[in-house]
Structure 1
Amino acid sequence: MSLIARVRAYAVDVLGIGSADQRKAVDDTHLAATALLVHVARVDGILAFAESERLARLVEGHYAEGPAAARDLITRAAAVDIETRDVASLVEMLPHEADSAERSELLAMAWSVAAADGVVDEFEEALVERLGRLLGFDEPTIAAARRTGTADAPAP
């Protein structure tokens, strides 16, 4: 999320600036992005502790203020993921005006979650690459996001 988007989200969420529709739009955007990350974390059928921890840290750092808010958002996002179970539907929930930097950051976060346990398995790799294409990126951009997102991944 860009600095401007974060300031806007903060003003809407915490200060109450903006309409109820604006607050709901920010919440829905964060919910959709978090649901995508939950989907990545669970795609291999195993939600490893490292993936869960990485997910919580990323959500808290980008979409929620504090650990309790992050846990709540992840719980809600998990329910959305169960209801949709389709990454394309989750991507459609994101606002169309999201800029390339915001989409790229989300893709790098997805790679980070996939690599949190030290291994990006074939299901995770295929899903995150598909997510990159659905977000409108080409292969070199998807590869760059992978390098960014997996830079601090533990060795297998």
Structure 2
Amino acid sequence: MFADFLRRLTAPAPERLPDPDARLALGALLVRVARVDGQYSQAEVARIERILALRHDLGPDDARRLREDAEVLESEAPDTVRFTRAIKDAVAYEDREAVIEALWCVALSDGQRDAEESAMLRLVANLLGISDRDSALARQRVEARQTP
């Protein structure tokens, strides 16, 4: 289903992704982080849909469809290193820190900081060119918003 998209995403020199493809790539990365601990909860699904809706100005049905497509893409996508590097090359730098913050939102949506999710976020941040410090600050911003 996504073979052409994956070929373009993982090409040796990927071009900047058009907006619909960038949306799908971000969605797939959000799903990958949510699934890394082996538990893909309803809270994570809901958080992914909210992030996609807010980031791309989508209604609930469009956000749900995008998340469903992202789930399929994530299951068909190559390893995280190639996938994330391709996103780095295709997504403008100024958006990468916001991507890390969105990923932390998903990882922390169940109220727990899971070791597998934290390790995945360290890897993804590095591959996206985001420093450990900036990733930690993004995580702290998310934690502060979630604290009653």
Q: TM-score range by the shorter chain?
A: 0.7 to 0.9
Task: Choose the corresponding residue for 1:32, options 25, 44, 51.
Answer: 25
How far apart are the structure 2 equivalents of 1:43 and 1:54?
16
Find runs of 4+ consecutive structure 1 residues off by over 3 angstroms.
Answer: 97-100
Q: Which runs of 5+ in 1 are unaligned?
A: 1-21
Q: Which runs of 5+ in 2 are unaligned?
A: 1-15
Higher mean C-alpha displacement, 127-136 vs 98-107: 98-107
Q: CA RMSD in A?
A: 2.1
How far apart are the structure 2 equivalents of 1:93 and 1:27?
15
The CA deviation string for residues 93-118 of structure 1, in whole angstroms up to 9 with x for no partner, is: 42636343310000000001000000
**Which position in structure 1 is the counterpart of 2:131?**
138
Matched ranges for 1:122-133 at <5 A: 122-133=115-126
How far apart are the structure 2 equivalents of 1:56 and 1:36?
13
User: Match for 2:20: what amino acid?
Assistant: D
Please report how far the alpha carbon of residue 88 of structure 1 lies from its aligned counterpart in structure 2 after TM superposition: 2.1
The CA deviation string for residues 37-93 of structure 1, in whole angstroms up to 9 with x for no partner, is: 011111111112211111111111113510111111111111111012522233234
Task: Choose the corresponding residue for 1:116, options 95, 109, 112.
Answer: 109
In the superposition, the TM-score normalised over structure 1's length comes to 0.77
Question: Contact 1:110–1:149 (CA<8 Å) still a contact in 2?
Answer: no
How far apart are the structure 1 equivalents of 2:83 and 2:98?
16
**Which position in structure 2 is the counterpart of 1:86?**
79
Task: Choose the corresponding residue for 1:147, options 123, 140, 148.
Answer: 140
How far apart are the structure 2 equivalents of 1:149 and 1:30?
21
Q: What fraction of aligned residue pairs are identical, expressed as a percent?
A: 31
In the superposition, the TM-score normalised over structure 2's length comes to 0.80
* Number of corresponding residues: 133
**Which position in structure 2 is the counterpart of 1:41?**
34
User: Match for 1:132: what amino acid?
Assistant: A
Alignment pair present for 1:65 and 2:58: yes
